[in-house]
Amino acid sequence: VQLQASGGGLVQAGGSLRLSCAASSSYDLGWFRQAPGKEREFVAAISRGGDSTYYANSVKGRVTISRDNAKNTLYLQMNSLKPEDTAVYYCAVKRWGGSYFYKNQYDYWGQGTLVTVSS
């Protein structure tokens, strides 16, 4: 399983970015992020068929996860960005059951894309 995240960059607070990840359509998928000196944390996840989505409280209402299985692509639309959203964002594959919220449930990870939000 290969994952390729893209779309990161530098944006001002209040701005928007859309991250993409080339990912298999066969599995549940998630986005995580890791800020400097911090643990990798859950951001959002989506079921294989796209019918269920899950969000961290810190991004709920500002972020939308979606997928296009025909294009084997996962998206993360981020609006109203804050400086505390600055992190490397990773897409990940969850092949089996278990919680969407825990990084240990994910089997494969992309290389990450850096999002920097300036104040």
> Residues 46-83: pLDDT tens digits?
999 999 999 999 999 999 999 999 999 999 999 999 99
Residue 28 has pLDDT above 90, yes or no: yes
Residues in Cβ contact with 71 at an 8 Å cutoff, skipping those fewer than 6 apart: none
Residue 34 has pLDDT above 90, yes or no: yes
Taking residues 34-56, report their average pLDDT: 97
3-state secondary structure of 109: strand
Residue 30 has pLDDT above 80, yes or no: yes
Residue 24 has pLDDT above 90, yes or no: no
Which backbone phi and psi does 68 adopt, to 5 degrees?
Answer: -120, 100
pLDDT of 76-108, one tens digit each?
Answer: 999 999 999 999 999 999 999 889 999 999 999
Q: Confidence band (pLDDT; 50, 70, 90) for 1?
A: confident
Tell the residue number behind the tokens 């899950």, with chain if given.
54
